[in-house]
A = this chain, B = another copy of it.
Amino acid sequence: MATILSDADASSETSSPAIEVPEVVIDRLPQYVRTLTHLLEEGVEVTNSQQLGEQLQVTPAQIRKDLSYFGRFGKQGRGYRVRHLLTELKQILGLDSEWNVAVIGVGRLGNAILNYPGFNPDGFHLVAAFDNNPRNVGQEVGGIVVQPMSDLAETVTSRNITIAIVAVPSPATQSVVDLLVECGVRAILNYAPINAQVPAGVRVRSIDPVLALQSMTYYLNFPEAPVNGLRPAG
């Protein structure tokens, strides 16, 4: 659950409701943002829970319920103004701010991340990169000069870095995460296939393609709705 603070009046100002918003709801909001962004790009000005639900493969009731935690953004009989709802949701998620991000580890994966063009348009600025290996320090990767790990604490503060992307080898992950937490980083995106332990108040999300594949193989062996008769390869 996500406890929110402050005053109760949720008129049209997207002020913070004084109630608990389920974490599953927060996890869906970025998807709503993405779909609304696409609709806006297509020139759609008004939408409704039915249409949003189709795009997102979610029931219309769920969308209405989710939005109701934060305010009344729609007009009965009409639906939602796409631009308005998008602005509100971005504000709720803190996406009206820009966020400075550090990348830890500039191996193959860290390199790919630093060169990935998808973060900046969404307000996430990769502003620093760190590595253990003296060979990598001083190199420029994706326009950023790699710094030694010993610079981390100083740079996190001076550059106001609040988010870190960890792309170091598995065995190093926990100690890097510990260091980041110590430096005040409270949001970490972890690319290593490891369950890093963090204190309460710090969030970790993991990107793990193997886990994603492994949860699908179950259904390949016991298909709910068989499409054809293919079986495992081995």
Chain A residues in the interface with B (C-beta under 8 A): 2-5, 16, 26-27, 29-31, 33-35, 55-57, 92-101, 108-109, 112-113, 115-116, 118-119, 122-125, 127, 159-163, 165, 181, 184, 186-187, 189, 193, 195, 197, 199-203, 205, 207, 209-228, 230-234
Contacts and interface: CB of A to CB of B under 8 A. Distances in A.
A213 B187 contact: yes
Given A118-B209, A233-B125, A234-B97, A30 B214 contact: yes
Copies held by the complex: 2
A98 B216 contact: no
A93 B214 contact: yes
B216 A205 contact: yes
A160 B233 contact: yes
Contact of A218 (B29, B113, B227, B230): B29
Contacts of A202: 227
Given A201-B226, A225-B201, A122 B33 contact: no
A151 to B, nearest CB: 17
B31 A195 contact: yes
